[in-house]
Amino acid sequence: MRETPGRTGKRSRLRMLVACGLAWLCSTPLSVAIDSPRSGLAQAAHIPTGRELMLQFQCNRCHDGPYLTAAPSEKHCVTCHQQILSGSFRIDGKTLIRWQGNIKSLPDVPSLHGIERRLRSDWIAKYLQQPHDLRPGLIALMPRLPLQERHALRIAAALVSSEAPAVEFPRDAETLRRGRALLQTQGCGTCHRFTGVEPLSASPLPVPIRPAALAQGIRLAPDLRHTRERVQTAYLVQWLRDPTSIKPDSTMPKIPLSQEQATAIAAYVMMAPLAPLPPPVLPTRLPILQRRVSFAEVNDQVFRRTCWHCHSTPEFAMGDGGPGNTGGFGFAGRGLNLATYSDVLAGSLDDQGERRSIFVPQADGTSILLRALLARQRELAGQITPGVYGMPLGLPALTAEQIQLVESWIAQGRPQ
């Protein structure tokens, strides 16, 4: 890692490269979409299967699950963070503690195990094309990938090959009232939110749970508002009574519920009337700062803090500068390295592979850099900007203050 070049110097990098880097390089398909029109192979005889597409889009750098061989830990966005957070990553104690304090966004990702009986294929295909926030306890979101509809449909069909016919739930007032009461008393609100109904309160879990599993459960519990759109109803009652019988690695505990109690809960989750969400508000754009803004400050608050992991220096990561530099997650490399002042000024590659500045104003008057940051705010409000991927990819938008800092630094002529 670039952080401590002296320590994780050439020798250990070489060791890691020999141990796993080569295996990864050899086993990883090109990140350019193999059936994309841009690659000129659109007419090729082989149409990639859903499984091949998942390797190509590198779903295995974040998710475990069916068809996914885990990416090696130095490529795996979650495994490496977990090793650092648990202290098993081999580095000096001081660095480890600092890193531990900085890793917030991706301590976990939901695995895709058991997905064939949990989620609906039509929902997966839609979600892959326009992901939205499902888990209030997890900072990271599913990133928007360069997937076309046909890719999403093929992946969804591979993940969920056959669905059980949907079942109906009772919706009478008495059943819903019972379901609601059980949600309140069985500890569900400790992990889950349910936006759109009267807020659930946290209540003690009726079963013992290890603190680490509870913390992970809180991060990974979906907002139950989305459940009715996404789950296979035929398995919902079984899920509530025994989650690991469907998803072996689930941290949702087995809470003793009768068939009738679980049915009442399922009925409430699926049928309770939902209040509409308030319309999304875009953060206001703050005025340019009058005080001087240096690169060091922008780096500290933005590039180094959030971006550098996907836009880093290749030499320090076995030839891989991250998805936003050398490519990955199905993106061809944009060559954008945000590690140092001169790297940032060196800019990125356009669609023809020509280098350009990220400060050049675009049609809308903003620079490539600012356009990407503002596009992320809009994406989270459900508005896609055609041809632009919002940055930071798969993470919450920068705050109005962070964007103000970047904008002020650009306006002041990008001082060092």
Residues 374-393 that bind ligand HEC (CB under 6 A): 389, 391-393
Nearest distance, CB of residue 245 and ligand HEC, angstroms? 12
Q: Are 35 and 42 in contact (CB under 8 A)?
A: yes
Site for ligand HEC contains 124 (CB under 6 A):
yes
Residues 235-274 that bind ligand HEC (CB under 6 A): 240, 247, 250-253, 255, 265, 269
> Cβ–Cβ contacts within 10 Å for residue 365, how many?
8
Nearer to ligand HEC by Cβ, of 96 and 289: the residue is: 96
Which residue from 160, 192, 343, 405 is in contact with ligand HEC, where contact means CB under 6 A?
A: 192
By the 10 Å C-beta count (0-12 exposed, 13-18 middle, 19+ buried), 251 is classed as buried
Which residue from 307, 339, 380, 403 is in contact with ligand HEC, where contact means CB under 6 A?
A: 307
Alpha carbons 246 and 129: distance in angstroms, whole number: 26
Q: Are 60 and 51 in contact (CB under 8 A)?
A: no
Which residue from 121, 322, 337, 405 is in contact with ligand HEC, where contact means CB under 6 A?
A: 322
Using CB under 6 A, count the residues that bind ligand HEC.
91
Site for ligand HEC contains 321 (CB under 6 A):
no
Alpha carbons 10 and 45: distance in angstroms, whole number: 43
Alpha carbons 279 and 283: distance in angstroms, whole number: 13
Nearer to ligand HEC by Cβ, of 45 and 82: the residue is: 82
Alpha carbons 43 and 34: distance in angstroms, whole number: 11
Residues 133-152 that bind ligand HEC (CB under 6 A): 133-135, 138, 140-143, 145
Site for ligand HEC contains 64 (CB under 6 A):
no
Which residue from 121, 312, 348, 408 is in contact with ligand HEC, where contact means CB under 6 A?
A: 348
By the 10 Å C-beta count (0-12 exposed, 13-18 middle, 19+ buried), 265 is classed as buried
Cβ-proximal residues to 41 (8 Å cutoff; 6+ apart), any chain: 34, 35
Alpha carbons 156 and 124: distance in angstroms, whole number: 6
Nearest distance, CB of residue 303 and ligand HEC, angstroms? 6
Which residue from 4, 17, 28, 99 is in contact with ligand HEC, where contact means CB under 6 A?
A: 99
Nearest distance, CB of residue 237 and ligand HEC, angstroms? 10
Q: Are 205 and 187 in contact (CB under 8 A)?
A: yes
Which residue from 28, 82, 105, 399 is in contact with ligand HEC, where contact means CB under 6 A?
A: 105
Nearer to ligand HEC by Cβ, of 43 and 363: the residue is: 363
